[in-house]
A and B are shown apart, each in its own frame.
Chain A
Amino acid sequence: MRVAPKEIQSFRDDFTYSNSAEAIERFPFPFAEDEYRYSVNMEPHLPKGGEGSAYEHFLDIDEHYLSEMAEREKVLEEMPHRCLAMPHMDLACWDMIERIMVSLSEDYPDYFSLIRNGDHWSWENKLLNIKDQFTFGDSSSLPLPPLDYIGRQMQGDFALLDQREGDLFLDAGMITCPADWSLAFDAGMSFKEWHGPVPMAHGEGIFERALKYLIAIPVGKPVRRLNWTLTVNARMDTSPEKYHEWGHERTTVTPENVGGKVYLRVELQVLDRMPRSNAMMFSIRTYLLSLEDLVTNKEWAVRMHRALKTLPEPLINYKGLTRFHGTVVDYLSQFDPVN
């Protein structure tokens, strides 16, 4: 069964965000092995897991749609520069509009509709009560710049990477729910530059191999990977711009509150070649699951305990877990029969 978007919940202040039993069941759990290892864990972005799975469609719409869109509006109202597109990325932004509108209307016909008559397009988003007609490729025919327009209607963050000089450059994006990175800071950087802070992987040639793989991705062959971290409270916007609001929360985790306060934050990242511009669309769909919801799945609880216990020190620090990693491992150990 598919989960329908529910009423708006919050990702700040009173944190009313919660997962239904169905949402817990479809959570994209990221640990494939007991021992944590670094790898370029890419696979073709093909349907997996059947109806209702997070991997059923190209873009995943779930019960948090309205909540995430409301949160995005708040972030952009305060910080409009969380969305940016350099002038040479205009065609790539239209590629992205086409990709998103076509797949949403095909995959979720109850919520979205697209009628294309040559360059004359009619778009309806029934969830947000949006109905617009525009000329494809003509940015002045939309009420907002193209990336801003479509980004406010899709769960997850988006970046558009320009491909040149055998490299990828972060030249456009809408980033309102990042795991501690800033679009304004990374804008214009190359692949290796924006991965600069990642520990351990540089010496192993991981980025060289990943880049060679990415720049050869053809049209129609999207790939995906999962990334993860832990977030204190169900906060979507853990950006450096807002560090003063959330950084200190990492000191508030105790053995008593850890289960409800710490969330496994998983990013379903998809890379897809844009046909007209040759740019790469990088979508980052974020899922949050509290540890107490996670441990309702006994296999996940055991796996998560072992993966976190073997997480190397540099990664604990890089992911910002130093202050509460031990508390989390202790909490999870009660579900692992080996202990």
Chain B
Amino acid sequence: MSVIDQISVKVSAVRQVAPMIKEFSLEAIDAELVPFSPGAHVVVTMAGAENEPTYRNAYSLMSNPQDNSQYRIAVRLQEDSRGGSLFMHHQIAVGDQLMISPPANLFAPEWMAKKHVLFAGGVGITPFLSYLPELQQRESEFELHYMFRSKQTGAYSDELSETLDKNCNNYDADKGSRCDIAAVMAEQPLGTHFYVCGPQSLIDSVRATADEMGIPASAVHWEEFAGAKPGQPFVVELSRSGIELAVASDSSLLETLEGADIEIPNLCRAGVCGQCVCKVAEGEVEHRDSYLSEPEKQSGQVMMPCVSRAAGERLVLDI
């Protein structure tokens, strides 16, 4: 019965596509890869050596969605990496095996849109690479605005401007080129949908501009590629089993639970999808997700362990 669990894949190619970005091609080992939808991502599990931590990061699929011979992802080496991007950059080579989740999509194009305007910042170009084949297939009207620093990022910018011609606008900040977001948004026809993937500052800027211009929030879509950020260490107690675990400052609560073989369903690991929600029995929570509603956050009864942490030294979860 068509049920898919984790998929084991082999790295078939590694390519340096920008000074700080490596591209990995992944091929299935014992099964067929499923087709995916534009904007989909997978969670990559990076099992370290014994006694080394296991990392799990979500990466957008950037290959052609119709091509199920391989998936491609691109990983930017994060300066403040908690391990995942460092691991991918320094430890993964052709022939290595990884586990990936089935594709999930929290950033799909809105096909009813009259026009699509895509804002990419740095490695935030990746989900849009999977949009392009379908946008072209449907002959949809679109514009790509790609902002990067060529000393760090800017992968695929030459190919994109060649194949997309005037539908692609590149802005290399290291060469003094900046995107006037307000000017771009002001000249779009009614019914345009806007998509942003990139650093938080870019997302905030597009959302704020849309708000000022009276563009409905439902026409603005964004994907944060930031996962869990470090915080103060704390202790978590699981009330049903009595287990106590120490959450280190550079680990997320979800990672700590997984490290103790406690399985929590999850898709995005970034506080968006809502799958990993846990009941809180005691303790204050520092909510960092964008899934729970304000009243839910204030109730203090639930939290998203993928990104949120204890506000104090101790937290008791009802699991």
Contacts and interface: CB of A to CB of B under 8 A. Distances in A.
Interface of A: 44-47, 57-58, 88, 91, 99, 102-103, 107, 162-165, 212, 216, 218-222, 272, 274-278
Interface stretch (B18-26, B30-38, B116-124, B232-240): B30-38
Interface of B: 1-5, 34-37, 39-40, 65-66, 101-105, 108, 110-112, 134, 218, 267, 273-275
A164 B111 CA distance: 9
Nearest to A119: B66
Q: Is the interface of B mostly helix, strand, loop or mixed?
A: loop
Contact of B35 (A47, A222, A276): A276
A88 B112 CA distance: 7
A251 B34 CA distance: 51
25 contacts: A46-B1, A47-B1, A88-B111, A99-B2, A102-B2, A107-B1, A164-B108, A164-B112, A165-B110, A165-B218, A216-B104, A216-B275, A218-B102, A218-B104, A219-B34, A220-B2, A220-B34, A221-B4, A222-B3, A272-B2, A275-B35, A276-B37, A278-B37, A278-B39, A278-B108
Contacts of A274: 37
Contacts of A57: 1
Contact of A163 (B101, B103, B108, B275): B108
Given A47-B1, A220-B2, A275 B34 contact: yes
Contacts, number: 71
Nearest to B105: A278
Given A218-B103, A276-B35, A45 B1 contact: yes
Nearest to A276: B35
B1 A278 contact: no
Given A164-B110, A276-B37, A221 B3 contact: yes
Which of the listed residues B2, B36, B134, B218 has the most CB atoms from chain A within 10 Å of its own CB? B2
Given A165-B218, A220-B2, A275 B36 contact: yes
B66 A46 contact: no
A44 B3 CA distance: 9
A99 B2 CA distance: 9
B116 to A, nearest CB: 13
Contacts of A218: 101-104, 267
Contact of B3 (A165, A220, A276): A220
Given A221-B4, A274-B37, 11 more contacts: A46-B1, A162-B111, A164-B108, A212-B274, A216-B274, A218-B102, A221-B102, A275-B37, A277-B37, A278-B105, A278-B108
A275 B218 CA distance: 23
Contacts of B111: 88, 162, 164
B95 to A, nearest CB: 26
For the complex of A and B, list the 9 residue pairs with the smallest distance between their C-beta atoms, beginning with the closest: A220-B4, A278-B37, A88-B111, A218-B104, A278-B108, A220-B102, A278-B105, A275-B35, A219-B102
